[in-house]
Structure 1
Amino acid sequence: MRGHRLRTPPHRPPRSLARLGVALLLTVAAGVGAGGAAAPGTAAGGARQAAAPAALDSVIPAPAAVAPGGSPYEITADTAIRVPPGSSAAAASARDAGEYLAGVLRPSTGFDLPVGSESGEVELRLSARLKKAVGTEGYELTSGADGVLISAAAPAGLFHGVQTLRQLLPPTVEADTAQDGPWLVAGGRITDEPRFAYRSAMLDVARHFFTVEQVKRYIDQLALYKYNTLHLHLTDDQGWRLAIDSWPNLAEYGGSTQVGGGPGGYYTKDQYRELVAYAASRHMTVVPEVDMPGHTNSALASYAELNCDGVAPPLYTGTSVGFSSLCVPKEVTYDFVDDVVRELAELTPGRYLHIGGDEAHSTPHDEYVAFMERAQKIVAKYGKTVVGWHQITANPAEGAVAQYWGTTGGEQEVIDAAKAGTPLVLSPANRTYLDMKYHAQTPLGLSWAGYVEVRQSYDWDPGTYMRGGVPESAVLGVEAPMWSETLSTNDQIEFMAFPRAAGAAELGWSPAAKLGWDGYRDRLVAQGPRWEAMGIDFYRSAQVPWE
């Protein structure tokens, strides 16, 4: 049962205790005793201490190739950021990546870090020659005594390279107040590209509603780990979260509550556009989901005619699944689907539109197949590619993407569809579902797919996960879903997402040869102080020797 299933300073609330923890950690690391007076990064008498920069291969996701060597580069008050000249869309996007980098570094370093196209020791460079080598999302990062160069064939690659540069700097670079340096980047070269094209995280805003600012905060955190897709679960039994002009009661009435009976909420079309644009600024594509024919009580409660008996049920604030269904035989059902898909497609520039399709226990199988056939054609009519939970493999349209959420990789219907050409996004619930409890005492989350500790979530290979001879080429990518039956705040999201979201990101990005629990665990240790500096309330798993 599935149902039981970036960061910029403006979206990071203060975490004074977390920052204090980081400061104390650095003080101990610097060897300052109880009677010492030296600040982090300085020795007694005010002289700067020597500092070893983070190794080039210490980041998450693990880079494809690393060649360390040479002197480090130090970011100082004299450092500038150089970006490509020109007025093309690519140049403008590359400049945005430079401004983003400066926005991350300025609060903690206290440096001006001017961004321009004339000169700069930290350079972002567009290079068409790299497309063959690393694709449109890959990059090269070269560092030496004279500076840092991030090169890529496209702005997305530059942005991902910026995330790597962030992780090569001390964790306190993420703080929103001035910190002591030095800000060293190890010498050498990274050549990097993603293993899978689709690297996604899902946020369920239907069970509990999350505001635009809350979603932006999560986008910023995901961006650090090179996610390129945000799947928004916009509708479910408990709430409809997007305004639809042709069916206004969906949001105004169907969105008026949530699990536990809170006030709920919904996004206006302008707010949804704002989220899409914000995700795009972090090189993430929004994939909206309107679940059907099940998980539809909020719609059924809003419009009586969508029910076979013509009677609207009451709004629902519980957490059970499988009890609701659109009325498949009624023609008005397809008018409804057409209107919703049309308006959603107009708002969504990305190629994918998710129509759910899972846990339709109240829809007879023959009706389910008939409904999904028509619904998929409607999506295609408006120029989008269908994504659905793996139950759509009962009758997938040509080109449709199936999102697998099982726990064994052995469902024959899914295996057959994948071998016949249906691409898979892998979200095995006992591996990637971020709302699963870590252990029996975890205060949040569910456990229907078992307990999912940090190693359990990471220690599998998407390329070999499906049984029955499904090749890696059938796997479009990996997604880490976050269902929100028990979650209503950013702190709760973060506690359940981290560290596991970092692991899912690595599984989607890094080559198979770079995967391995021991190496990942060691690199994960370094993320703890970074998350503290970012104000992320993460789960301190006993499986990881946190500093």
Structure 2
Amino acid sequence: MRQHHRTPRLLGTLLLVAVAGLSATAAAPAAAPAAAARTATPLDRVVPAPASVRPGGPPYEITPATRIRVDDSGAVRRIGGYLADVLRPSTGYPLPVITHGTGGVRLRLEDGPYGAEGYRLDSGPQGVTLTAREPAGLFHGVQTLRQLLPPAVERKTVQHGPWPVAGGTLTDSPRYAYRGAMLDVARHFFTVAQVKRFVDALALYKIDELHLHLSDDQGWRIAVDSWPRLAAYGGSTEVGGGKGGSYTKADYREIVRYAASRYVEVVPEIDMPGHTNAALASYADLNCNGTAPPLYTGTDVGFSSLCVPKQVTYDFVDDVIRELAALTPGRYLHIGGDEAHSTRHDDYVKFMDRVQPIVERYGKTVIGWHQLTGAHPVKGALAQYWGLDSTGAAEKAQVAEAARNGTRLILSPADRIYLDMKYTADTPLGQDWAGLVEVRRSYDWDPGAYLLGAPASAIAGVEAPLWSETIVTDHDIDCMTFPRLPGAAELGWSPAAAHDWDTYRVRLAAQAPRWDALGIAYYRSPQVPWPAR
């Protein structure tokens, strides 16, 4: 999952001052001149790159007379309302959502070769039509439509038009079904509002999985009724000794609901048998010696372990998984499994053999970090690979063998796609145990060919984790997530043939005014030809 050691968190005002040098903006700047908004964005300029583009013909212009026409179904109405909510503040137009009429922006479902998440966008002088087989496809099409409009459309105050959408046809569907990002809320706690803000960033780039790292040595972040001290005591601190925090069940349901409204599935993680000091400190019986350790606020790893021989350990795991599964409508439940250095290997295997069936009993599919492949992954389980390009051949071979035997893989190579790695040696946030990960390095690899010996068909998708040892604020999240997150999204969504750094960096640069409008602080990598301010 992470590393062999961790550097301490940078502290105080010096860090906050230094971080300011990373960002393009900490707040939405003044509106751009109207002239900058008058050219229609080419259909092939969006991120992730579409599967197929056929440009041509005059653009459509959104005007005060534009209507958003939808199928008469709850899901499509909600997507139409979401689109209207994006467009109304900046355009100042009423944009009623209706089920009849002609022209305007049309959202419709029909049978066709779109798959579960694909869509087609047709644009011409009379209107824009988004067509999909499933609501998720329409929602992803709306994200493309947003990017085809001038960046000022993202602002919350009325801006100068016009609002053109380039003419032509765009057909799109994802390469991988699993396109994820992870937010570590255990090292530092993030509020429901902060998680929602992160979800909105994922949705803009068609990421459909939010992996929440809910427990670790430094904090337990989800209420469990049958073990109340987990959140009340285990969640009472964080890295550096802050007050921590935890989600009530109502909080967690709200995160799940909000993510679902953006067609993002929540993947909760309870890390075990290691990374468990917050639980061990909360309940003495979970320790083999019956003594609870103190709460932990440092960043070292590998020192904690649930007591594998004790029956109470499995009573605990069963209760936690049962309650969490009941709160989680998504398919997956992540059981961690990495860096269990204080658990003997035979105990690790016994533990995973007992815990995986518990996850299945409560109707969820197991995900574990790739160390799970050193045990016995159950049928249907997914292993999340977090090794490096330089990871030893034996470890890679173990993962590849599991893949050949039916275990599907989520790829999160730490020296490629970990969002908490420093960009350069001078980056004030983040860590460098996996190396320095600039924008090109994070983008310039092929998931289908990355792990030697693993069949391309075994790759379920990619995920970009953001570990939070040094991440405290929204500003911190932005600086480390952007501009690398869109690249991870493109690796998961776009066809391999579209993968080209030289063209991608130009498309990426064009996203900067949109981030400015959204108030997203980002790192202005010298590898990207950002527009002048």
**TM-score class normalised by the smaller sequence:** over 0.9
**Are the structure 2 counterparts of residues 426 and 17 from structure 1 closer, same or farther at C-alpha, using a change threshold of 3 Å?**
closer
Helix, strand or coil at the partner of 2:447: coil
1:481 corresponds to = 465
- Name the amino acid aligned to 1:122: V
Does the Cα contact within 8 Å between 2:269 and 2:334 map onto a contact in 1? Answer: yes
Task: Summarize the alignment of residues 41-60 of structure 1 with structure 2, pairs less than 5 Å apart.
Answer: 51-60=38-47
- Which of 270, 279, 283 pairs up with 1:290? 270
Let me know the Cα RMSD of the aligned residues: 1.2
**Equivalent pairs, count:** 506
1:111 corresponds to = 93
- Which of 445, 455, 458 pairs up with 2:440? 455
- Name the amino acid aligned to 1:360: A
- Which of 405, 411, 414 pairs up with 1:420? 405
Distance 2:305 2:443 in 1: 35
Helix, strand or coil at the partner of 2:463: strand
Task: Summarize the alignment of residues 236-275 of structure 1 with structure 2, pairs less than 5 Å apart.
Answer: 236-275=216-255
2:514 corresponds to = 530
The offset of 1:472, in angstroms, is 1.3
1:124 corresponds to = 107
Helix, strand or coil at the partner of 2:448: coil
1:466 corresponds to = 451
Does the Cα contact within 8 Å between 1:19 and 1:175 map onto a contact in 2? Answer: no
- Name the amino acid aligned to 1:406: G
Distance 1:76 1:530 in 2: 21
Q: Does 1:365 align with 2:345?
A: yes
Does the Cα contact within 8 Å between 2:152 and 2:159 map onto a contact in 1? Answer: yes
> Structure 1 residue runs of 4+, over 3 Å off?
15-18
2:64 corresponds to = 77
- Name the amino acid aligned to 2:249: K
The offset of 1:16, in angstroms, is 8.5
Deviations 1:287-332 (A, max 9, x none): 0000000000000000000000000000000000000000001110
1:46 corresponds to = none
Distance 1:123 1:338 in 2: 47
- Which of 84, 95, 117 pairs up with 1:137? 117
Distance 2:529 2:366 in 1: 42
- Name the amino acid aligned to 1:479: E
Helix, strand or coil at the partner of 2:82: helix
The offset of 1:206, in angstroms, is 0.3
Helix, strand or coil at the partner of 1:19: coil
Moved more, 532-541 or 113-122: 113-122
Distance 1:191 1:545 in 2: 27
- Which of 257, 260, 264 pairs up with 1:280? 260
Deviations 1:179-209 (A, max 9, x none): 1111000000000000001000100000000
2:336 corresponds to = 356
Task: Summarize the alignment of residues 431-442 of structure 1 with structure 2, pairs less than 5 Å apart.
Answer: 431-442=416-427
Q: Does 1:446 align with 2:428?
A: no
1:210 corresponds to = 190
- Which of 371, 383, 390 pairs up with 1:391? 371
Deviations 1:317-357 (A, max 9, x none): 00000000000011100000000010011111111000000
The offset of 1:19, in angstroms, is 2.1
Distance 2:530 2:331 in 1: 40
- Name the amino acid aligned to 1:58: R
Helix, strand or coil at the partner of 1:279: helix
Distance 1:199 1:16 in 2: 27
Helix, strand or coil at the partner of 2:186: coil
Helix, strand or coil at the partner of 1:434: coil
Q: Does 1:229 align with 2:209?
A: yes
The offset of 1:18, in angstroms, is 3.5
1:336 corresponds to = 316
1:2 corresponds to = 2
Unaligned runs of 5+ in 1: 6-14, 31-39, 42-50, 86-90
Deviations 1:415-458 (A, max 9, x none): 10001110000000011100000001101001100000000000
Distance 1:343 1:361 in 2: 28
Deviations 1:401-428 (A, max 9, x none): 0000001275111010001110000000
Unaligned runs of 5+ in 2: 7-24
Does the Cα contact within 8 Å between 2:26 and 2:521 map onto a contact in 1? Answer: no
Deviations 1:84-138 (A, max 9, x none): 01xxxxx21111111111111111111110011113510000012x2xx120100
Helix, strand or coil at the partner of 1:415: helix
Given the two structures, how large is their TM-score scaled by the length of structure 2?
A: 0.93
The offset of 1:218, in angstroms, is 0.6
Does the Cα contact within 8 Å between 2:27 and 2:520 map onto a contact in 1? Answer: no
Does the Cα contact within 8 Å between 1:434 and 1:483 map onto a contact in 2? Answer: yes
Moved more, 471-480 or 408-417: 408-417
- Which of 299, 310, 317 pairs up with 2:279? 299
Distance 1:143 1:312 in 2: 63
Helix, strand or coil at the partner of 1:463: helix
- Name the amino acid aligned to 2:256: V
- Which of 61, 68, 93 pairs up with 2:75? 93
- Name the amino acid aligned to 2:304: S
Distance 2:145 2:40 in 1: 12
Distance 2:477 2:26 in 1: 19
Does the Cα contact within 8 Å between 2:26 and 2:520 map onto a contact in 1? Answer: no
Helix, strand or coil at the partner of 1:406: coil
Deviations 1:258-292 (A, max 9, x none): 00000000000011011001000000100000000
Does the Cα contact within 8 Å between 2:27 and 2:521 map onto a contact in 1? Answer: no
Distance 2:178 2:431 in 1: 26
Helix, strand or coil at the partner of 2:514: helix
Distance 1:236 1:178 in 2: 44
Q: Does 1:19 align with 2:29?
A: yes
**Are the structure 2 counterparts of residues 204 and 472 from structure 1 closer, same or farther at C-alpha, using a change threshold of 3 Å?**
same
Does the Cα contact within 8 Å between 2:210 and 2:265 map onto a contact in 1? Answer: yes
- Which of 390, 406, 417 pairs up with 2:387? 406
Distance 1:427 1:16 in 2: 28
Given the two structures, how large is their TM-score scaled by the length of structure 1?
A: 0.91
- Name the amino acid aligned to 1:503: G
Q: Does 1:545 align with 2:532?
A: no
**Are the structure 2 counterparts of residues 300 and 274 from structure 1 closer, same or farther at C-alpha, using a change threshold of 3 Å?**
same
Distance 2:122 2:290 in 1: 65
